[in-house]
Structure 1
């Protein structure tokens, strides 16, 4: 039987992008879709547009939240009602290309049940919709950068950023094992990758099936700026990752990630967060001369 796929279309003030995003769901060639339209307390015209599409497509389900509760909690409101064997967390400022669902389901059906998530390449566009670059692009040697990884990728996930979240399709059993997203966090992807890759394999699909918009109001564009709400969540995820590490190479990989996060925090003047990261780095045994210098600086700045 053709698997049911759930698309959770998550919106927060995406009014100007909503129609092309929702039209891209309608353009899917895959025959069995369950669609949830979730509005996370938008203050623009998003709800009106969502209601228009819901009225035109009564089989679509809606979750209209009266106030903003964040991506993780908003996604879970739909996830725990959904039935799909596979799920897509779809931000409604992006675009799904017509074969997206069909190609990803076909790929999942080639994999065994130990694979919990697959991801692919993404075309990155400007706010106005003009193509800018590919997320995975050939480097000087022709190899893709950042280098994709498949299989048991827990150590890779700790060390580096190589997955474009908008390209993901997740197995329901994986999300159920994790009890959905962690609602105490300000964002979902890094935590999902860490927790899921501990017990499930990931697969890279070398296809471009998604278009992502790059715009200054996105959360990723605010990274490490003063007041960035994501930094505290990143630190919590790093602590969670440390508890999941089983080997010295895994701890070393996490130390590389924490070292990078520490330098960003110090660079942008997030001193309490930098101190937390420095303490974790020392626990991991990864504090070198440069990091000890940062540690001395943090002491002086108390």
Structure 2
């Protein structure tokens, strides 16, 4: 078993960070090794729960790489409590951001299957075993994903999102996949190369489109991870940068993939409709109406626009009607 950076030229730029590595822990030679990267920076209040959710998995062969960008909170102390687990490897040092930290970890990966789990998210107990089995059962698939639960800062489940069917356009519409649930084949990651470090907010979507060039994703009809929403998470706090990158990725994908171009106006309309709903939820009505107008101009009425009045109601009455209906619809359309 060799690190990804040794086997695939696209990862050679990370080779200088890949020195002699401790041997992986193999408890069952009949099962593949799974490599999981945890990018970390000042998430000490969550990272202990994240790591326990990985190390307590009912799966025999794991290596876990924590890539910590120099945390100054309680993270170092918490990481020391895991020092006796030989499956866990910790790399501390300044990186170039979230995507770069994942690349740094994956460059070291020896596993046949790889994943990353952000330091504020968690796995349910059978997440790894389920996704390994899914990829084994579907040898043509390059990645497996499932549904997930959104949780609040205290870990309480807010709502559960089903895994909808796979299609490349669903990737661009952000209908799929829930990032914490994604497990990828080593070969696809090796060929696709590193995540784009120029992106800060939507590099995962860009990477799914990159990976999809090598084969389809497979959805598992279960719930295997949690996605934590809290005031400091990028998903919650920094909409403008996310919008910009989402649109950029969509346009670049249509430019690179001619077979998807007929759907360009409809997909961009759906992106603007989603942006309108998010702005309505934030109470930014003029911006919400502007984005809704962009969507309608591009492709007429879009089903996503039906959530706009519901998002406004949620804002006014502190309810979650739009989310509940969206979650219900996701379950209805998951197959």
TM-score w.r.t. length of structure 1: 0.76
Counterpart-to-counterpart distance in 1, 2:152 and 2:298 = 38
Q: CA deviation at 1:3?
A: 0.8
Counterpart-to-counterpart distance in 2, 1:131 and 1:262 = 24
Counterpart-to-counterpart distance in 1, 2:278 and 2:87 = 46
Q: CA deviation at 1:245?
A: 2.9
Counterpart-to-counterpart distance in 2, 1:124 and 1:156 = 19
Partner residue, 1:194: 209
Counterpart-to-counterpart distance in 2, 1:255 and 1:130 = 33
1:237 maps to 2:249: yes
Q: CA deviation at 1:106?
A: 0.8
Query: 1:159–1:256: 8 Å Cα contact kept in structure 2?
Result: no
Counterpart-to-counterpart distance in 2, 1:26 and 1:47 = 18
Partner residue, 1:50: 79
Q: How does 1:71-220 map to 2 (within 5 A)?
A: 71-112=98-139, 114-136=140-162, 148-150=164-166, 153-187=167-201, 188-220=203-235
Q: CA deviation at 1:229?
A: 3.6
Q: CA deviation at 1:264?
A: 7.4
Query: 2:266–2:298: 8 Å Cα contact kept in structure 1?
Result: no
Partner residue, 2:273: 260
Q: CA deviation at 1:194?
A: 1.9
Aligned length: 263
Gap runs ≥5 in structure 2: 1-29, 302-335
Query: 1:242–1:254: 8 Å Cα contact kept in structure 2?
Result: no
Counterpart-to-counterpart distance in 2, 1:88 and 1:171 = 9
1:16 maps to 2:31: no
Q: CA deviation at 1:263?
A: 5.0
| Secondary structure of the corresponding residue to residue 91 of structure 1 | coil
Normalized per residue, which structure has more strand? 1
CA 176–260 in structure 1, closer or farther in 2 if over 3 Å, else same: farther
CA 260–177 in structure 1, closer or farther in 2 if over 3 Å, else same: farther
1:31 maps to 2:60: yes
Partner residue, 1:141: none
Counterpart-to-counterpart distance in 2, 1:256 and 1:121 = 25
Gap runs ≥5 in structure 1: 137-146, 290-302
Partner residue, 2:31: 2
Counterpart-to-counterpart distance in 1, 2:272 and 2:256 = 18
Q: CA deviation at 1:134?
A: 0.5
> What's the C-alpha RMSD, in Å, of the aligned pairs?
3.0
Q: CA deviation at 1:79?
A: 0.6
Normalized per residue, which structure has more helix? 2
Counterpart-to-counterpart distance in 2, 1:98 and 1:197 = 27
Partner residue, 1:246: 258
Query: 1:160–1:257: 8 Å Cα contact kept in structure 2?
Result: no
Q: CA deviation at 1:109?
A: 0.5
Query: 1:159–1:253: 8 Å Cα contact kept in structure 2?
Result: no
Q: CA deviation at 1:178?
A: 1.6
Counterpart-to-counterpart distance in 1, 2:99 and 2:63 = 19
